[in-house]
Amino acid sequence: MEPKTPQQRAEYLEQLQRETKKNQKAYQKKLIGDTVRRRYSELWLRKKSYKERTIAPAPEDAKAVERDITMIAPAFYTKAPRTAPKP
């Protein structure tokens, strides 16, 4: 339905411009929201993997790790009691 009079055309054009502006703002808002969510999730995953790498292993795992280490260098890692030097 094409507007007939020049005033109707002007009103129709103004309405289209308002809708376009509104849609552009909504799209920009959506883009920003998506980017923020994506970046937050990337940071969360990075933080999670960092924590998994740096947190000390559970006690049963620690014993296995300790066992492996003592196999590699038993003299350095064994927990022999220290004796005081003899006078």
Per-residue pLDDT of the chain (87 residues), as tens digits, is: 567 898 999 999 999 999 999 999 999 999 999 999 889 888 888 888 877 777 655 555 555 555 555 455 545 545 555 565 565
Question: What is the pLDDT at residue 52?
Answer: 75
Three-point CA angle 78, 57, 80, nearest 5°: 10
CB atoms within 10 A of CB 34: 10
Quote the pLDDT of residue 15: 95
Residues whose CB is less than 8 angstroms from the CB of residue 38 and which lie 6 or more positions away in sequence, other chains included? none
User: What whole-number distance in Å separates Cα of residue 18 and Cα of residue 4?
Assistant: 20
Amino acid present at 53: R
Distance CA 57, CA 51 (A): 11
